[in-house]
Structure 1
Amino acid sequence: MPIFRLMLPLALLIISLVIAVSSGQYSLSLTEIWQSISQFGNELSQQGLSQQDIVLWNIRLPRIATAILVGIALSVAGVTYQGMFKNPLVSPDILGVTSGAGLGAVTAIYFDFPLPIIQLFAFAGGLFAVGLVYFIASTVRRQNPILALVLSGVAISALLGAGISLLKILADPYSQLSTITFWLLGGLNMTSFDDLKLVAPLVLFALIPLILLRWRMNVLSLDDEEVTALGVNIKRTRLIFILCATLMTSAVVSVTGIIGWVGLIIPHIARLWSGADFRLLLPTCILLGSTFLLITDTLARCLFAIEIPLGVITAFVGAPFFLSLLIKGERQ
């Protein structure tokens, strides 16, 4: 039963949510959490809040909500790219999204712009990179348009990565370089409800078309001739999927920095659990992606006395898992 397949990922999400809320340098018991939630509506000013209320509402809940949103965006973007390109090794940065966002943010940091401008530059950089990749691929006359997109994305990503390296060399080593380094490693330590107000509508706006058109992803797995015979406009459908996946990736990366491996490994885990049917695969990725980000972010802020960048944790978890998948597939 498809609904039964979603019960376990949903249970894992709920368990990880409870652990994330209660864990941290300032731990909260379930009783304290319930008291804070039940009494918060009666507090009229920040001066009446206790320490546990401040930790829960001003620090922990915004971070947890952002982790869920980022996990959903990156995992859905990853499974969308993999399904559209018919390649399980594709990730959200294949079209230069993360490299473009990284170059935009690094440029803003280099010129000492404030945080909102940095986020705006990162968002615009991701969209610009994908637009450039799509334009170059459309001008290349190839029989395989997907291959043209992938090759263009690899080339543009390398070019943007070189731009990031150049700015790191030119940056002030005593102030700007550390900010650039920590931003590129990714993290949720600076997130707030104000960030959610900006990012959540964009992610939701991009997610709704993917949910409504999820059956078309199954159709795109066929040959182009068969898809055309079924009456599906291949070019327009692919463009919709690319724009939606790129929009949600650029939106979350602009706030959190570059967090890798989520869009690559979560679709694999979801596919092993629910199968390749995109109608069930998409909600499974939503649940598992948010769970994965919650767990890794909890580890990032609880393992050591200092907080570890989230991108480091996802790489430590994602790379061995991906290698195990490759070894297992080779043995089979």
Structure 2
Amino acid sequence: MARVTTAAVLVAILLAAVLLAAMMGPYPLSPGQVLEAIGMRLLGQPAPAPVGTVLFQIRLPRVLAALLVGGALAAAGASYQTLFRNPLVSPDILGVSAGAGFGAVLGILLSLPVFVIQALGFATGLITVTVVYMLARALRSQNEILVLVLAGIVVGALAGAGISLVKILADPYNQLPAITFWLLGSLSGIRVNDVQTLAPLVILGLVPLVLLRWRIGVLSLGDDEAKALGVNVRVVRGVVIAAATLVTATAVSVAGIIGWIGLVIPHMARLLVGPRFDRVLPAAVLMGAAFLVLIDTAARTAARIEIPLGLLTALFGAPVFVWLLARGRRMWS
């Protein structure tokens, strides 16, 4: 009963965040206008011209993108932390964020179209993790997880150096501001077509994590215990890494590098529902989606100019993480 109540509360918070985001902006809408327009669209009738245009062409695509990106990053963070048995792991631990960022800024440097920049960022993110995994396999160490993480740090550092080189070569008046703003994270350019591309890839990555949630939870006990319980550790680990990488690369290619969500939100989900991964995963997805929707709403309404998402997530995530560390220390004491 408590789990049902918790799930209902999280869903209600998410719906309230979506409604609030749809209402707020330079052209404010009332709750009645938003619900009426959505109801008319569901019935196949056109919404009134100003409300329908603002809601369905500008705000809802951005809200849906924030929902998908936040849920994807939180799910990837929870999966990585459970898989590697390390509470400090985040979605960029295998270099996927830096790799996708390098591809995207390279596209900006070459003045490519937006959809090509997104595709290039997505491809380089997947290529980066493939290189990391192949490097870890080639080293053949007994501690496979440690070698995998170290390989990710090395390859991510190389991708970060590539990003720095692109920033040096970029035009300081046009390209460099665009690169800097993109690296800090933004959903300002999201349109309906972007959501139609983003949604299938995020769902495709989340489905294996949901189907393997019990086996992923068993992996947190250790490789030997998981093998004794009949889990094919190598196969499950590979599928989880591929799925989490897919959703992370998709999110980064569309929204830029948004930190702290994949690190802090899973910890908050564990405080709420306990350590079991089959409960942490849905809670983290709902909380991450609601969090980024609210952060994106604040980013576009709190000031006259839009604030990068990475700045706001850091302002929230750093104090919360310090509080989590202090709380954990008191519990250990």
TM-score (norm 2): 0.95
Q: Secondary structure at the match of 2:107?
A: helix
Q: Deviations over 1:124-145 (max 9, x none)?
A: 0110110111111111132210
Report the equivalent of 1:29: 30
Q: Deviations over 1:138-169 (max 9, x none)?
A: 11132210001111111111111011001101
**Distance 1:15-1:34 versus aligned 2 partners, 3 A rule:** closer
Q: Do structure 1's residue 243 and structure 2's residue 242 form an aligned pair?
A: yes
User: Is the contact made by 2:186 and 2:308 (CA closer than 8 Å) also made in structure 1?
Assistant: yes
Report the equivalent of 1:281: 280
Amino acid at match of 1:131: T
User: Is the contact made by 2:37 and 2:48 (CA closer than 8 Å) also made in structure 1?
Assistant: no
User: Is the contact made by 2:10 and 2:283 (CA closer than 8 Å) also made in structure 1?
Assistant: yes
Instruction: Supply the distance in 2 between the matched residues of 1:108 and 1:180 (Cα, whole angstroms).
Output: 10
Q: Do structure 1's residue 301 and structure 2's residue 300 form an aligned pair?
A: yes
Instruction: Supply the distance in 2 between the matched residues of 1:22 and 1:72 (Cα, whole angstroms).
Output: 21
Amino acid at match of 1:85: F
Q: Do structure 1's residue 171 and structure 2's residue 174 form an aligned pair?
A: no
User: In the TM superposition, what are the counterparts of 1:210-225 in structure 2 within 5 Å?
Assistant: 210-225=209-224
Report the equivalent of 2:180: 181
- 1:35 CA drift (Å): 3.2
Q: Deviations over 1:202-254 (max 9, x none)?
A: 11111111111100012101232221122211111100000000001111211
Instruction: Supply the distance in 2 between the matched residues of 1:39 and 1:213 (Cα, whole angstroms).
Output: 39
- 1:327 CA drift (Å): 2.1
Instruction: Supply the distance in 2 between the matched residues of 1:37 and 1:317 (Cα, whole angstroms).
Output: 32
Query: How many aligned positions are there?
Result: 328
Q: Secondary structure at the match of 1:94?
A: coil
Q: Do structure 1's residue 113 and structure 2's residue 116 form an aligned pair?
A: no
Amino acid at match of 1:94: I
Report the equivalent of 1:42: 45
Q: Unmatched 5+ residue regions in structure 1? A: none
- 1:49 CA drift (Å): 5.1
Q: Unmatched 5+ residue regions in structure 2? A: none
User: In the TM superposition, what are the counterparts of 1:78-117 in structure 2 within 5 Å?
Assistant: 78-117=77-116
Instruction: Supply the distance in 1 between the matched residues of 2:251 and 2:39 (Cα, whole angstroms).
Output: 30
Q: Secondary structure at the match of 1:28?
A: coil
Instruction: Supply the distance in 1 between the matched residues of 2:70 and 2:35 (Cα, whole angstroms).
Output: 26
TM-score (norm 1): 0.96
- 1:7 CA drift (Å): 2.0
Report the equivalent of 1:160: 159
User: In the TM superposition, what are the counterparts of 1:133-152 in structure 2 within 5 Å?
Assistant: 133-152=132-151
User: Is the contact made by 2:94 and 2:151 (CA closer than 8 Å) also made in structure 1?
Assistant: yes
Instruction: Supply the distance in 2 between the matched residues of 1:171 and 1:208 (Cα, whole angstroms).
Output: 39
Runs of 4+ in 1 over 6 A off after TM superposition: none
Report the equivalent of 1:330: 329
- 1:20 CA drift (Å): 1.1
Instruction: Supply the distance in 2 between the matched residues of 1:99 and 1:111 (Cα, whole angstroms).
Output: 18
Sequence identity of aligned pairs in percent? 50
**Stretch deviating more after TM superposition (204-213 or 75-84):** 204-213
Q: Deviations over 1:158-198 (max 9, x none)?
A: 11101100110111111111111111011111111101111
Instruction: Supply the distance in 1 between the matched residues of 2:293 and 2:286 (Cα, whole angstroms).
Output: 11
